[in-house]
Chains A and B, each alone.
Chain A
Amino acid sequence: MDSTDRLKLARFLGDAATAVPGVVGLRGGRSGEVTEYGPGGRVSGVAVATAAERLQVTVSIAARYSPDLDLARLADRVRRAVQHEADERIPDTVDRVDVVVADLVTQEATP
């Protein structure tokens, strides 16, 4: 998988993560730790690593604060959504999705 494909994949996986209710956005980290770079662009908050021809994905999210927030559950939903998206596009390739809850956003802070 070349870097163009990787970037494309990262975009789809990032979209799958942000589509999960309770996820406000992706966070690449202050120094871009979780960022996929490629020709003509980058995706902050998603990193795709290759390990023995298999892929490991890390997504780093910002969650919306609510009184009944359960971050472990939210992270599991994100993991499943990202895994599902990956399996649709490239079956049997991604065998691990790590989720980082990097930020928490309160209602007042979001427009």
Chain B
Amino acid sequence: MATASNVGQAPKSSDRTSLQSGNGTTTIADAVVARIAGLAAREVDGVHELKAAGTGGTIADFASKVAGGDERNSGVSVEVGEREAAIDLGMTVKYEVDIPKVAQAVRQNVISRVTSMTGLSVTEVNITVIDLFFPEDEEAAAERVK
């Protein structure tokens, strides 16, 4: 959870709290940060879907499902401190895209969205491209089950 207090805080965040009239803190849940990062990643053309990377990620997703976690945040994990956030993304990309370029665009969009929406500064966005997506695969799969 990211908590910003307007009582005796670092000058850096004064712009975030200048509108406050009363006292109190603002807390942004980790799940909300993850959700923003996931939506930002999906906006980039070339990204097919977000998916947990590797066996560890699959287990983490499963554990989160069992624990009643948010399925919408599959493939996204975040570490949020008071002022900073680090984000890990696992994704499949469409075949024939320039992977480094797509990854860079994802990184930029995630940083810009998370920063503008939450006020947190993003220290790193680690991206794992776990698979390629071939549109014809999906068509073939659809054929088989007809």
Residues of A within 8 A of B (CB): 30, 57, 63, 65, 69-73, 75-77, 79-80, 83, 95-104, 106
Tell me which residues across on chain B come within 8 A of A76, comparing CB atoms: 17, 19-20, 26
| Stretch from B91-99, B112-120, B136-144 contacting the other chain | B112-120
Q: Is B36 interfacial (CB-CB < 8 Å)?
A: yes
How many of chain B's residues touch chain A, expressed as a range?
Answer: 20 to 34
Interface residue from B17, B24, B29, B117 paired with A103 (Cβ < 8 Å): B29
Q: What number of A-B contacts does a CB cutoff of 8 Å give? A: 79
CB <8 Å contact, A72 and B4: yes
Q: How far is the CB of A48 from chain B (nearest CB, A)?
A: 13
Tell me whether A99 and B26 are in contact in the complex, defined as CB-CB below 8 angstroms, given that A71-B117, A72-B118, A104-B36 are known contacts: yes
Q: Is B100 interfacial (CB-CB < 8 Å)?
A: no
Q: Is B27 interfacial (CB-CB < 8 Å)?
A: yes
Tell me which residues across on chain A come within 8 A of B32, comparing CB atoms: 63, 71, 101-104
Tell me which residues across on chain B come within 8 A of A80, comparing CB atoms: 19-22
Residues of B within 8 A of A (CB): 4, 16-17, 19-29, 31-32, 35-36, 39, 68, 116-119
Closest B residue, CB atoms, query A73: B19
Could you tell me the distance between the alpha carbons of A57 and B4 in the complex, rounded to whole angstroms? 16
CB <8 Å contact, B22 and A98: no
Could you tell me the distance between the alpha carbons of A9 and B118 in the complex, rounded to whole angstroms? 29
CB <8 Å contact, A71 and B118: yes
Could you tell me the distance between the alpha carbons of A51 and B17 in the complex, rounded to whole angstroms? 24
CB <8 Å contact, B22 and A104: no
Closest B residue, CB atoms, query A99: B26
Q: How far is the CB of A59 from chain B (nearest CB, A)?
A: 9
Closest A residue, CB atoms, query B70: A103
